[in-house]
Amino acid sequence: MSNCGVSVALCTFNGAKYLSSQLESYLVQTHPPDELVICDDRSRDETVAILNDFAERAPFPVRIFVNEQNMGSAKNFEKAISLCSGDVIFLSDQDDVWAPNKVKRIFDEFQKDHDVGMVFSDAELVDEALRPLGRNLFDGWITPKLRETIENGNLFSILLERNVVTGATLAFRARYNKAVIPIPVDIPDMIHDGWIAMILSVIAGSVLINEPLVKYRQHDGQQLGMDPRRYVRRSLKLSWKNAMERIEAKHKVKKEYMESAKRRIVSRIEVPEHIMSLVEAEVRRREDHAEHYRLRNELSDNRVMRIWPIMRELLSGRYHRCSNGVRAAARDLVVDHKRKIEYFEIMYRGKAVID
């Protein structure tokens, strides 16, 4: 490590309501940051005034940059990262509160092992007034099996399925900036933290800290959040064909996500063969699922005409790989396509979650 130490990259946009709490939490760190780099995305409230006031009294350098035009969160973080001079860059949202030992706890992990490129932690979910919601970010999300997979150096395989790295808990070595930035904005369902996690999981070691080092505030104004009260298991009455269409579409989007991420990653870094194999296998799996649900959607309204396509799909093994085996095949054989069936999906703020 050089003397540059720790940079905090904070992105702000109309954050006056909660910003002061986050800034104050930097001041009580047992290992203070060596600099705070702030990129404001054309706030229209008192955010910049709050930042300027903080900069005057902070015991470490604070550099504030106000964008000439609104860039969006991904590009704003890209800019903030590029302006940091520290060896380790901590990402920070504007509305959370850091535990006093966050910087030290994470920085210690980098000092222990030179090969570690990324460290992320758990977080405590709190409401607008910082009252605990009774659960942490990892609860029901990072299972013991997933934790073991990450600790064994296989984070990438998990990230193919879903992003388990939240930017508010993330820090990484600045030497990987050339691989990380520019941050792509055209990969479906991926924002800056997902991209950083994915690319670093290929080229560096990762450490998961199973401790809540951030109070992760949940409120209506944030871009993303994890408040379990905002997740709803929605029940819909759909025709059989509409249900099959939705599931097919879900797998197609996930396939596009994989392919887009693959193109971006291979354009930046040399990707090991085993990583490429994982991506290609996941693309094939999603293709397999999409094709299975397409064929189920195309089954004839005439039950007799369904027998051969269902038998063919059973023999291909897709009923077992992609749905509920013989039970699903039997249901397909007898279901009335005109009858509405129960279809469930997990909703987050009105949007179906793709898993």
For residues 219 and 239, membership in a common domain is answered with: no
For residues 73 and 139, membership in a common domain is answered with: yes
For residues 276 and 151, membership in a common domain is answered with: no
pLDDT band at 348 (very low <50, low <70, confident <90, very high): very low
For residues 260 and 115, membership in a common domain is answered with: no
Q: What is the pLDDT of residues 169-212, one digit of tens each?
A: 999 999 999 999 999 998 887 899 999 999 999 999 999 999 99
For residues 210 and 241, membership in a common domain is answered with: no
Domain assignment present for residue 197? The answer is yes
Of 224, 259, 281, at which residue does a domain stop? 224
pLDDT band at 291 (very low <50, low <70, confident <90, very high): very high
pLDDT band at 345 (very low <50, low <70, confident <90, very high): low
Range of the domain at 65: 6-224
Of 224, 259, 290, at which residue does a domain stop? 224
Angstrom distance (rounded) from CA 112 to CA 89: 17
Owner of token pair 């460290």 = 119
Number of structural domains the chain divides into: 2
Q: What is the pLDDT of residues 100-128, one digit of tens each?
A: 999 999 999 999 999 999 999 999 999 99
pTM: 0.86
Which runs of consecutive H residues, i.e. helices, occur in the chain? 16-27, 47-57, 73-83, 102-112, 144-151, 155-159, 177-180, 192-203, 240-268, 273-297, 303-316, 318-322, 325-334
Domain assignment present for residue 1? The answer is no
For residues 217 and 235, membership in a common domain is answered with: no
Q: How far apart are the first and last CA of the chain?
A: 39
pLDDT at 241 over 70: yes
Domain assignment present for residue 40? The answer is yes
